Amino acid sequence: MDDTRIVYDDHIATIMQRETDMQFLKRLAQRNGFECYVEGGKGFFRAPRLRDTPQPVLAIQFGARATNVNRFALEVNALTPTRVAMFDVDWRTKTILDASADTGQQRVLGRTAAAGLFAPGQGNIAAGKVYVNLHAATGTAEMATLCQELVHQAEWLVTAEGEIDGNHYAHVLKPHGTVTIKGVGEAHSGLYYVTHVTHTWSPHGYTQFFRAKRNALMPSGEEDFAGTAPGVNGFLATVPGVVASGGAVGPGRGRN
């Protein structure tokens, strides 16, 4: 668990809960730039781990021996990056409070950050600006945090999804971590942040459906595109109740 930057004083404000416990925690996490989820019987309330060691490489269109992704699709929305501003009134002093955020502070997973798509003087469309409304805040500190995290959310301009051949990948891809993807062109090969994984076992084999996102284009030069996973036989032997036979695995289904 990570500490939030804002500490609330119950003499000034009270946080109201009108939803389930999990919905409440997710709402609090979102406005602090955190993730809230349960994994392995443990709850997590923390900032995304964008600097952790990437998971083994996902290879697309690298021949029958090296390719471990059956299908892959991505979408780039260059209009999502935006600047954010907010105004409020201090209920004690009746003064106008304001806060804004123009650039991101999270790790950029590539060479060209979202903000770099709007280079001044190049004739590109200028980044838009959003004003937050209908959101009560206790002061400029909370307002600044909210604006900053909305900028971070808008920076995820690349969204991707695909299906992994689990028998070839020989690794359990997990959400809430980074993975290197290669074989999708120079602009889109590089580090992605995994947001969702569903595992499926069938008589035809083991597949993993995943979703991921990226806040940049082009490789940064720090990627390890040669990174590989352990051998499939050694991997399958560690999965309880799963037996490798003829390149396929026993039936079942699970989700991370």
Element (DSSP H or E) covering residue 213: strand 205-214
Q: How confident is the model at residue 121 (pLDDT cuts 50, 70, 90)?
A: low
Domain edges within the chain? 1-47, 55-77+157-255, 82-154
| CA angle in degrees (0–180, nearest 5) for 228-233-235 | 60
Percent share of the chain, pLDDT over 70: 82
Instruction: Name, of 14-23, 44-53, 125-134, 139-148, the range with top average pLDDT.
Output: 44-53
CB 143 within 8 A of CB 88: yes
* Average pLDDT of the residues in 69-89: 91
pLDDT score for 12: 66
* Average pLDDT of the residues in 141-170: 92
CATH code of 55-77+157-255, in short, is 2.40.30
Q: Give 121-127's long-range contacts (Cβ < 8 A, gap of 24+).
A: 125/79, 127/81, 127/82, 127/83
CB 181 within 8 A of CB 190: yes
Residue 178: other Cβ atoms inside 10 A: 21
**Which has the higher per-residue pLDDT, 91 or 236?**
91
CB 174 within 8 A of CB 164: no
At 164, give phi and psi (nearest 5°): -95, 140
Helix (H, G, I), strand (E, B) or coil at 235: helix
Element (DSSP H or E) covering residue 117: none
Per-residue pLDDT for 6 more than 50? Answer: yes
C-alpha–C-alpha distance, residues 188 and 190, integer Å: 6
